[in-house]
Amino acid sequence: MARELKIRFSDFKTIEEKLKPLGADFIEEQSFIDTYFNQPPGHVLKLAKVNDTYFIQALFAIDGTFDVGEKQRINKEIVEEKGKELTQEFGVKKILKGTRKIFQLDMYKITFNHIDDVGDFLILTGANPTEEFFTERLGIKDPEYIRVSFDELSKQ
């Protein structure tokens, strides 16, 4: 199962320039709307609209990273009904909107994430994402690690 390691970071252009000589491949740009539902601490449940596709996804906090659970694709025809079910069962905690740009480098997925009214983030996803990737491979000095779900953050 994949894990995510996140930092708050806004100088995407510099990092994108560093990724090119490392051999990173651009995958895609996305727009998203994530509806987060109330969950116990360390658990995340969200209904995500990514471009024109819908998913339900669970994530779990583990040792400063997030274990990325399976994405379950939801048909457009039932997404409204499913959203109502989840809202009734758990209640909506927060709705976040934004854009992301995704790259692949070796065994890692690198995502530049802009979340409206929250900020900009760099996410490293893989079997074992490490802090050294940010500091040594990308040369980011003193990164601000994000150890909570995005729905827990406010704009800084």
Q: How many residues are given for the chain?
A: 156
pLDDT-above-70 percentage for the chain: 98
Choice between 15 and 1, residue whose per-residue pLDDT is larger: 15
3-state helix, strand, coil in the chain (%, to 5): 25, 50, 25
Tens digit of each residue's pLDDT (9 = 90 or more) over 114-139:
999 999 999 999 999 999 999 999 99
The residues spanned by each domain of the chain are: 3-152
The CATH number of domain 3-152 is 2.40.320.10: yes
pLDDT at 105 over 90: yes
